[in-house]
């Protein structure tokens, strides 16, 4: 993604990538969004006031507490949906919250809501996967939040190998043994690092 071009396009009211327009489409789970629109909604989030990649919300803590309960009831699933929505109000691209919400909507048999939620997951996943293949620095996956790295691994069917290192502006995650013999994935985390350096000034 060319962040400068994206920033320019999402601020242009006459552009199909104008951010408020894309936000409406995303919130409505519009499955007709083009790949470029998906890329602009995801990568364009770094230019929004809400963007805070290293902030861990209280709602996320509460959500994890409910998810980790031994036996989940219908009331718990309703609570998970409620807490997921609060997390997503702060960061609409939190794949973990979207996954927990999908799981709970499925358990509550809310099929229409589940389908809409899955469309949002797919919009984010397609934007991420379109950015590279992760096997080298040159073809790194581009993420706007480090938590997306681990979620992407899981959704692609890989397991984290337990070692993470920062190389220049890339996060490198070692993978557990896998049939593709891939040692690890590179993730370009430039927006997260820039956000952190601004906060420290």
Asked if 7 and 47 count as a contact pair (C-beta separation under 8 A), the reply is yes
Structure-token pair, residue 190: 């430039």
For 121, what's the count of Cα atoms within 13 Å in the CB-facing half-sphere? 19
Q: Which helix (H) or strand (E) holds 3?
A: helix 3-11
pLDDT at 57: 83
The DSSP symbol for 17 reads T
Q: Give residue-wise pLDDT tens across range 78-105.
A: 999 999 999 999 999 999 999 999 999 9
Asked if 47 and 66 count as a contact pair (C-beta separation under 8 A), the reply is no
Strands 141-142 and 184-188: parallel
Does residue 201 carry a pLDDT above 80? no
Question: Which residues are CB-contacts of 142 (< 8 A; sequence separation ≥ 6)?
Answer: 1, 43, 128, 131, 132, 187, 188, 190
Which residues are registered as beta bridge partners of 141?
187
pLDDT band at residue 22 using 50, 70 and 90 as cut-offs: very high
Asked if 104 and 77 count as a contact pair (C-beta separation under 8 A), the reply is yes
pLDDT band at residue 54 using 50, 70 and 90 as cut-offs: confident
Does residue 169 carry a pLDDT above 90? yes
Q: Which helix (H) or strand (E) holds 167?
A: strand 160-167
- Residue 186 in 3-state DSSP? strand
């Amino acid at each position: 993604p060319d962040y400068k071009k994206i920033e320019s396009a999402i601020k242009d009211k006459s552009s199909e990538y104008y951010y408020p327009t894309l936000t409406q489409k995303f919130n409505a789970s519009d499955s007709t969004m083009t790949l470029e629109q998906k890329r602009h909604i995801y990568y364009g989030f770094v230019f929004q006031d809400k963007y805070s990649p290293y902030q861990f919300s209280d709602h996320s803590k509460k959500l994890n507490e409910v998810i980790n309960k031994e036996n989940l009831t219908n009331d718990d699933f309703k609570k998970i949906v409620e807490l997921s929505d609060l997390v997503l109000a702060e960061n609409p691209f939190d794949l973990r919250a979207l996954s927990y919400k999908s799981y709970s909507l499925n358990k509550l048999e809310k099929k229409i809501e589940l389908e809409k939620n899955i469309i949002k997951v797919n919009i984010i996943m397609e934007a991420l996967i379109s950015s590279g293949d992760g096997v080298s620095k040159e073809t790194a996956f581009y993420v706007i939040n480090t938590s997306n790295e681990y979620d992407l691994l899981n959704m692609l069917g890989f397991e984290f190998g337990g070692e993470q290192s920062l190389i220049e502006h890339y996060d490198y995650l070692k993978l557990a043994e896998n049939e593709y013999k891939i040692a690890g994935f590179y993730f370009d985390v430039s927006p997260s690092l820039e956000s952190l350096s601004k906060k420290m000034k």
